[in-house]
């Protein structure tokens, strides 16, 4: 498992800042976008008045099970997932453009009288 270092944010007790040493941040960025690590969080966390907010102790956070493929494999995985993110973003832009085009066509079909 990668070594993590923790530093408390002095402005708020709600946030802990951490970084991975000697590993690909983009791999773990993609990992934390997933839901695979939530199961551990649900088991070790305490929830408050709101069901969607959890509190986790530093020791429990440090024990989150993390996959640790070799660095080359991490990079391949991160690159693949990032390229998929890029494709999704491009398709979302295309959809917005088509919606704008449709709106223009609809305005031509049903002009507003002034």
Residue-level pLDDT at 9: 45
Domain count of the fold of the chain? 1
Does 114 fall in a domain? no
Cα 58 to Cα 5, 14, 15, 17, 24, distances in angstroms: 11, 12, 11, 11, 22
Q: Which domain holds residue 81?
A: 4-109
pTM, two decimals, is 0.50
Does 27 fall in a domain? yes
Which of 6-20, 36-50, 71-85 has maximum average pLDDT?
71-85
Does 35 fall in a domain? yes
Cα 35 to Cα 40, 54, 70, 72, 107, distances in angstroms: 10, 15, 22, 23, 42
In this model, does residue 4 exceed pLDDT 70?
no
What gap in Å lies between CA 31 and CA 3, rounded to an integer?
16
Which of 28-32, 63-67, 108-112 has maximum average pLDDT?
108-112
pLDDT digits (tens, 9 = 90+) for 78-106: 899 999 999 999 999 999 999 999 999 99
Which ranges of the chain does DSSP label H, i.e. alpha helix?
Answer: 25-33, 38-44, 58-62, 71-109
């Amino acid at each position: 498992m990668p070594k993590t270092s923790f530093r408390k944010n002095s402005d708020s007790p709600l946030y802990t800042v951490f970084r991975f040493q000697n590993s690909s941040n983009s791999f773990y960025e993609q990992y934390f976008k997933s839901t695979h690590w939530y199961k551990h969080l649900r088991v070790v966390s305490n929830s408050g008045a709101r069901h969607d907010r959890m509190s986790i102790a530093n020791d429990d956070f440090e024990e989150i099970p993390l996959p640790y493929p070799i660095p080359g494999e991490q990079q391949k995985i991160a690159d693949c997932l990032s390229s998929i993110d890029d494709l999704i973003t491009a398709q979302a832009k295309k959809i917005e453009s088509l919606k704008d085009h449709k709106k223009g066509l609809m305005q031509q079909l049903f002009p507003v009288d002034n």
